[in-house]
Amino acid sequence: MSKPNAANDRSNALFRLALISTGGTIEKTYDELGGVLANKLSVLDMLLASLDLRGVVIDRVPLMNKDSLDMTEADHDLIADTAELMARNHDGVIIVHGTDRLAKTGDRIHERLAAKGGATKAIVLTGAMRPYEMRRTDATQNVTEALTAVQILEPGVYVAMHNRVLRFPGVAKDPKQGTFVRA
C-alpha cells in the first residue's frame, strides 16, 4: 500500500501555494530604448493567468526582481528565510529564480532546513533559460512543471525544469546542456 501524501489527503480541498518571485531570466523584458533584456517588471502574473489552475490558491510573494548573477549572500539568506516562513502557512512553496545562482539558493535552503530537522513541505525552485516574453521560451513549461511537482513531492527542496525534478543537495547547472543535472 502506498504512503498517503498531501495531494491525496486533501481530496477536494484547495492547495495553498506560496509563489516567491526573485527575478532571473524568466522575468526579463525587452527594453526597446536600451536594446537589452532587463529585470524591470514581473511577467509572472501574465504567465499564471494563461494557465488553468483549478484547485490551487496562489499567494504571490514578490521578493525581488534581480538577475541571479547580481544576488548577494544576503539575498540568498532572504530567499531561504522567506521560503521557510512561507512553508509554515502553505501546502507548498515555489521559488522563481535566475538559473545562474539557483543551485546556490537551493543548497542554502536545504542546509538551513536540514539543521532544523528537515523540510516539512515541498519547496520547488524553477526558472528559465529564455525569458517568458520570447517566442521559444521554456518559462511556461518550467512553471507548469513546478506547479505539478510541488503538489505531489515529499517534503524537501527540489528544482523542476525541462521535464526533470532533482532533489537538493547535489544539483548543478550544466551550461553546455542548458539545464540542471546531478552534481
Model confidence over 7-47: pLDDT tens digits?
Answer: 455 557 899 999 999 988 777 555 556 665 555 556 788 88
Q: Report the pLDDT value the prediction gives residue 26, as an integer from 0 to 100.
A: 74
State the cell numbers at 41: 517588471
Residues 6 or more apart whose CB falls under 8 angstroms from that of 84 comprise: 109, 112, 113
The residues with which 160 forms a beta bridge, in sequence order, are: 165
State the cell numbers at 76: 540568498
Contact of 161 with 143, CB cutoff 8 Å: no
Write out 132-167 in H/E/C secondary structure: CCCCCCCHHHHHHHHHHHHHHCCCEEEEEECCEEEE
The mean predicted confidence, pLDDT, of the chain is 88
Contact of 15 with 78, CB cutoff 8 Å: no
Q: How many Cα neighbours within 13 Å face the side chain of 50?
A: 12
Question: With 70 as the cut, is the pLDDT of residue 120 above it?
Answer: yes
CA-CA distance, 84 to 93, in Å (whole number)?
A: 9
Domain covering 6-182, topology:
Rossmann fold (3.40.50)
Q: What is the average per-residue pLDDT within 73-88? A: 97
Give tens-digit pLDDT for 167-182: 999 999 999 999 999 9
Residue 148, judged by CB atoms within 10 A of its CB (0-12, 13-18, 19+), counts as: middle
Question: With 50 as the cut, is the pLDDT of residue 59 above it?
Answer: yes
Task: Say what the alpha-carbon torsion angle 47, 49, 54, 55 is, to the nearest 10 degrees.
Answer: 80
Question: With 60 as the cut, is the pLDDT of residue 111 above it?
Answer: yes
Give tens-digit pLDDT for 121-151: 999 999 988 766 667 788 899 999 999 999 9
Q: Report the pLDDT value the prediction gives residue 134, as an integer from 0 to 100.
A: 62
